[in-house]
Structure 1
Amino acid sequence: MGRGKKMTSIAMGDEQLLIGDTVSLRPPDDETPPYLARINDMGEDKGGATRVRVSWFYRPEEAHGGRKAFHGEKELFTSDHNDWVAADSIEHKVAIHTLKAYQALPQVGEADYFSRFLYKASTGEFKPDRVPVYCLCEMPYNPDLFMVECEGCSEWFHPECLQLTENQVSKMPHMICSECTRNKKHPKPKPGANPSGGGPPPSKKARK
């Protein structure tokens, strides 16, 4: 962008947009979901139009390899793809959390998202390239899927991978996986702690 005046904030209705804010940008048509980005710079071009330099967030289906079973509905990839765009394409602010902060939300709102991977758009590489896996299916954690902790080994499982339903699990006084049952492991005492604490938290659904 041919630079004119540098800016540190932009008024948008009752809000002020600042460098570092994460925002939703208007897509080209009604069939495309909003674009999501972080503002890295802002200013007027030589023609006097207000523009912002953004780094884009990719949805899993927009990246190399596509969406996988462990990708959450509200998951985004932080990317190294940057552009200057018109400031008037910004719709509103959004909140893009770390996975840990997203898990701690009491309620997931429409403007809440999370990111745990950096995506290098030019090469299709991801950082980190390894993440913890859970359950018999050895799948990374998906915060949209209910998981339960075995009180014998402290491993986490999807009920369906244990041939159980969520309702059946909720009625069990103690959750012991089949491996611990065979090895006659007993529930570990956890004084003052929630038996399901210490690993992936319960599922959270986005508010419609």
Structure 2
Amino acid sequence: MSQQINHREGDLNSFTIKANDCVLLRPSNRNENVYVARVVQVNEKMVNIRWYYRPEETKEGRKNFHGKKELLLSNHTDTQSTQTIQGKCVVHSYDDYIKLERAGVDDYFCRFEYDAPKNRVVEAKVRVYCECNMPYNPDDFMVQCDGCMSWFHPRCKNMTIKRAKQLDKFFCSMECSNGDANASIN
């Protein structure tokens, strides 16, 4: 079921919402970030939603691999008035988000789920990179080894981002560097 949402008479910012749409909800305090939720069901004046949490809103907190626009889909559900809906947004899968040429203000991504009653992130299989074995943060610069083709944070290889961007070739180790030299000889 779709529902046309009009916030006030003559408002030009009306929109239609339906199940599985992602929406922005007004916070009670103007100093807080808008809330993000996925619509489960739409009724005449109410919506059933499933909340997204920001990493800093969880017990474990924000980690260095969390992107600025990363959300965690929770099992926390609620019913809200349609009047609390500020607008629509898009919560992309992680793979779709990193393919975006430019993320808009209302673009977010989700790769983890959060079990709100148990206060923990649900274990998920995600690829890890670098020597630090962390998931990729789309906001962090990484450099690829020309030998083994693995990705590394410049800081984990004791170099600055500026220096990493200036390199013509990067090798993560002497073994990778020697492998490249042997390959060019053959």
- Calculate the TM-score normalised by the size of structure 1: 0.79
CA distance in 1, matches of 2:96, 2:111: 11
- State the shift of 1:63 in Å: 1.2
- State the shift of 1:168 in Å: 1.9
1:16 aligned residue: 16
Q: Residues 157 and 126 from structure 1, CA distance in 2 versus in 1: closer, same or farther, beyond 3 angstroms?
A: same
In the alignment, is the contact (CA less than 8 A) between 2:60 and 2:120 conserved in 1? Answer: no
1:25 aligned residue: 25
Q: Residues 22 and 168 from structure 1, CA distance in 2 versus in 1: closer, same or farther, beyond 3 angstroms?
A: same
Q: Residues 14 and 90 from structure 1, CA distance in 2 versus in 1: closer, same or farther, beyond 3 angstroms?
A: closer
CA distance in 2, matches of 1:188, 1:10: 65
1:93 aligned residue: 88
1:81 aligns with 2:76: yes
1:197 aligned residue: none
1:166 aligned residue: 161
Equivalent residues in 2 for 1:120-139 (5 A)? 120-139=115-134
1:61 aligned residue: 56
In the alignment, is the contact (CA less than 8 A) between 2:130 and 2:152 conserved in 1? Answer: yes
CA distance in 2, matches of 1:179, 1:57: 44
1:43 aligned residue: 43
- State the shift of 1:166 in Å: 2.1
Q: 1:140-193 CA deviation, whole Å, 9 max, x = no partner? A: 111110001101111110112111222222222211112435x6121899xxxx
4+ residue runs of structure 1 moved beyond 4 angstroms?
none
- State the shift of 1:131 in Å: 2.4
Q: Counterpart of 2:20 in 1: which secondary structure?
A: coil
- RMSD, aligned CA: 2.0
Q: Counterpart of 1:110 in 2: which secondary structure?
A: coil
CA distance in 1, matches of 2:131, 2:89: 35
* Count of aligned residue pairs for this structure pair: 177
Equivalent pairs: percent with the same residue? 38
Q: Residues 170 and 56 from structure 1, CA distance in 2 versus in 1: closer, same or farther, beyond 3 angstroms?
A: same
CA distance in 1, matches of 2:109, 2:182: 32
1:107 aligned residue: 102
Q: 1:31-84 CA deviation, whole Å, 9 max, x = no partner? A: 21111001111113xxxxx01000000000111211111111110000111001
CA distance in 2, matches of 1:92, 1:41: 16
- State the shift of 1:127 in Å: 2.9
Whichever structure has more helix as a proportion of its residues is 2
